[in-house]
Amino acid sequence: MNPFRKAVEDRDEAAIEALLADDVVFTSPVAFKPYQGAAITGAILRGVMRVFEDFRYVREIGDPEGRDHALVFTATVAGKLIEGCDFLHFDEAGRIDALTVMVRPLTAAQALSEAMGAQFERIAAEAAGPEAEPARIGADSDSASASA
């Protein structure tokens, strides 16, 4: 089983974050500009875990020895069934250096955007760390409320 899949299914935030390369690039299904770095990616993934209900992976695609993997999932967001896929690329050290998420249908993607927008301040604060002022994330996205 893919280690990211196992960490997500176990809801093990520490294991998820340990799999992220420091320079990971996260491409969101609802924001135009990708996010770079383990801190913001980890914060976004924690936010997603808070808004997704009934999350489960239904298929894993990829060579177990390869660096590229696709994890197909289903979940519910604000009463809308969402189908999606996590596209992962692992670097030479076995850490995720690229994570792209795609979701469908449009109504569920819109519900996800709204739910993640409600998480916006918390995600920014978590990404900035306990010592820093919350940074505004998503400002360059195609929707001011879209943060993941």
Q: Which tens digit of pLDDT belongs to each residue from 101-123?
A: 999 999 999 999 999 989 889 99
pLDDT tens digits along 38-62: 999 999 999 999 999 999 999 999 9
For residue 36, pLDDT beyond 60? yes
Rg, C-alpha atoms of the chain: 14
Say what the pLDDT of residue 105 is.
Answer: 97
Q: Which residue has the tokens 């899949």?
A: 5
Q: What is the mean pLDDT of the chain?
A: 88
Structure tokens at 5: 């899949």
Say what the pLDDT of residue 131 is.
Answer: 58
* Dihedral sign of CA atoms 21, 31, 119, 103 in order: negative
Say what the pLDDT of residue 138 is.
Answer: 45
**82 DSSP 8-state letter:** E
pLDDT tens digits along 77-96: 999 999 999 999 999 999 99
> Beta strand 20-27 with 96-104: parallel, antiparallel or unpaired?
parallel
- Residues 96 and 70: their CA atoms lie apart, in Å, by 12
Residue 136: count other Cβ atoms within 10 Å of its Cβ.
12
The answer to whether 26 touches 147, Cβ cutoff 8 Å, is no
